[in-house]
C-alpha cells in the first residue's frame, strides 16, 4: 500500500511539474531575457553646464538578444526626499533589471536635487519637485529624439519611481507648467513658454508617491498603478496630512474619473515597504522581495493594458 501511494504521489508531482513547464511565457509580463546590457553614465541633457552634468546622467538597461525595432521604455526616478539618492539606488537597479528581463528598455535617471532641506520644509520640497519635473520632461524629449538609436516605441513610455520618484511621475503627467508654477511659487520663464505642457506618456508606476493637488487628475487620462504600505507614515496613502495625496485617495479619484488604475497594499509595512522605515539602513532581502512583488504587480497591469493579452 505504501509503495502504491508513493507511486501515485510521484506521478502527480511529475504531472504538475510538466504542466508548470508548459505554462506560456509572455514578453513584457514574464522574465524572458536572462541577460541584460547596461550602459552607465550617459546623458539626456548634453547641453548641461559641467557643474550640473551629474544631474542629467542616466543608466540604460536593455534586454540582451532582443532585436525588436520598437520597445516600451520605462524611465525610473529614485526616491530620497528630493535631497538624496541617485540612479544607482538599490531599488532602482532591482526594478530596472527586472523590467529589462521582461523586455522593456529601462532608463534610470538622475535629476536635480535640492541644495536646501526639502525633507523638513514642504515649500522647499514642492520647489524641488518643480525642477525635477522639468528634468524628466527633458529626459522624455531626449528619448523621443533618440528613439531609433535605442529602439523605443514612443507610444509606450512609462514614468516610474519610488517615493519622490513617484511624486515626480504623477506631477509630470497630471500638472501643467502653469499649475505647478502657481503651486510651488517657482517662476520659470522658459517652462512657462509652454504653460499647458504635460508629459505625453502611456502610464505611471507610482511606488508610495503622491500628488500635490488631487484636482489635477481631471487634467489627463494617463493610467496609474500604485503600490504602498498600509503603515506608511512618510506619505499617508489616505489622508493629505503631509500636504500630498497618497495612493488610496488617487485610486478613488481615478475611479471616479474613469482613469484606468490599480493599487496594491502591503499590510503592516511602511514607507519603502519596510517594516520600520529608516533611510539610514539599507533594505534587506525581505524588503527587496516585496519590491519584486510590486514590480510583478505593475508588470501585469501594463501587460494587459498596453499589449492587450489578458491572462
Higher pLDDT, 281 or 259: 259
Extract the runs of DSSP E, i.e. beta strands, from 48-93. 57-63, 71-77
- What is the reported pLDDT for 119? 76
One-character DSSP codes across 97-157: HHHHHHT-EEEEE--PPPSS-TTT-HHHHHHHHHHHHHHHHHHHHHHHHTHHHHTEEEEEE
What backbone torsions phi and psi does residue 175 show, to the nearest 5 degrees?
-115, 140
User: Is residue 159 helix, strand or coil?
Assistant: strand
311 exposure class (CB count in 10 Å sphere: 0-12, 13-18, 19+): exposed
pLDDT of residue 12 exceeding 50, the answer is: no
In this prediction, residue 42 has a pLDDT band, given cuts at 50, 70 and 90, of very high
pLDDT of residue 57 exceeding 70, the answer is: yes
pLDDT of residue 61 exceeding 80, the answer is: yes
In this prediction, residue 280 has a pLDDT band, given cuts at 50, 70 and 90, of low
- What is the reported pLDDT for 41? 98
The answer to which of 2-16, 39-53, 195-209 has the lowest mean pLDDT is 2-16
- What is the reported pLDDT for 71? 97
> Computed from CA positions of residues 140, 34, 306, 304, in that sequence, does the dihedral angle turn out positive or negative?
negative
Mean pLDDT of 191-203: 88
Any bridge partners for residue 158, and if so which? 74, 203
pLDDT of residue 121 exceeding 80, the answer is: yes
Percent of the chain with pLDDT over 70: 91
- What is the reported pLDDT for 309? 54
| Grid cell listed for 44 | 539626456
Mean pLDDT of 122-144: 96
* Mean pLDDT score of the chain: 90
In this prediction, residue 196 has a pLDDT band, given cuts at 50, 70 and 90, of confident
- What is the reported pLDDT for 116? 87
pLDDT of residue 166 exceeding 60, the answer is: yes
With CA atoms as reference, report the closest residue to 112 among 80, 145, 144, 74: 80
pTM of the model: 0.90
- What is the reported pLDDT for 20? 47
Helix axes 164-174, 122-145, angle to 10 degrees: 70
| Grid cell listed for 195 | 504653460
Amino acid at each position: 500500500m505504501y509503495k502504491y501511494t508513493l507511486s501515485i504521489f510521484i506521478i502527480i508531482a511529475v504531472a504538475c511539474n510538466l504542466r508548470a513547464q508548459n505554462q506560456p511565457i509572455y514578453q513584457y509580463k514574464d522574465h524572458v531575457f536572462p541577460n541584460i546590457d547596461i550602459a552607465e553614465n550617459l546623458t539626456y541633457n548634453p547641453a548641461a553646464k559641467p557643474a550640473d552634468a551629474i544631474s542629467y546622467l542616466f543608466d540604460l538597461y536593455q534586454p540582451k538578444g532582443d532585436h525588436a525595432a520598437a520597445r516600451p521604455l520605462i524611465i525610473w526616478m529614485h526616491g530620497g526626499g528630493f535631497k538624496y539618492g541617485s540612479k544607482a539606488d538599490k531599488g532602482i537597479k532591482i526594478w530596472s533589471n527586472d523590467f529589462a528581463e521582461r523586455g522593456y528598455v529601462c532608463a534610470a535617471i538622475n535629476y536635480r536635487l535640492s541644495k536646501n532641506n526639502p525633507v523638513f520644509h514642504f515649500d522647499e520640497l514642492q520647489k524641488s519637485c518643480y525642477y525635477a519635473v522639468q528634468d524628466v520632461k527633458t529626459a522624455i524629449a531626449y528619448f523621443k529624439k533618440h528613439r531609433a538609436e535605442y529602439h523605443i516605441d514612443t507610444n509606450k513610455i512609462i514614468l516610474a519611481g519610488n517615493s519622490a520618484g513617484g511624486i515626480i511621475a504623477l506631477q509630470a503627467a497630471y500638472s501643467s507648467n502653469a499649475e505647478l508654477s502657481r503651486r510651488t511659487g517657482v517662476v520659470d520663464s522658459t517652462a512657462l513658454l509652454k504653460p499647458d505642457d504635460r508629459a505625453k506618456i502611456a502610464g505611471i508606476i507610482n511606488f508610495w508617491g503622491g500628488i500635490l493637488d488631487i484636482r489635477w487628475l481631471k487634467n489627463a487620462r494617463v493610467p496609474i498603478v500604485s503600490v504602498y504600505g498600509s503603515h506608511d507614515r512618510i506619505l499617508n496613502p489616505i489622508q493629505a496630512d503631509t500636504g500630498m495625496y497618497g495612493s488610496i485617495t488617487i485610486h478613488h479619484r481615478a475611479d471616479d474619473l474613469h482613469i484606468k488604475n490599480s493599487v496594491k497594499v502591503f499590510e503592516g509595512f511602511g514607507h519603502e515597504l519596510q517594516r520600520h522605515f529608516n533611510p539610514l539602513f539599507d533594505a534587506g532581502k525581505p524588503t527587496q522581495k516585496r519590491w519584486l512583488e510590486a514590480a510583478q504587480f505593475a508588470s501585469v497591469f501594463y501587460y494587459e493594458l498596453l499589449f492587450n493579452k489578458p491572462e
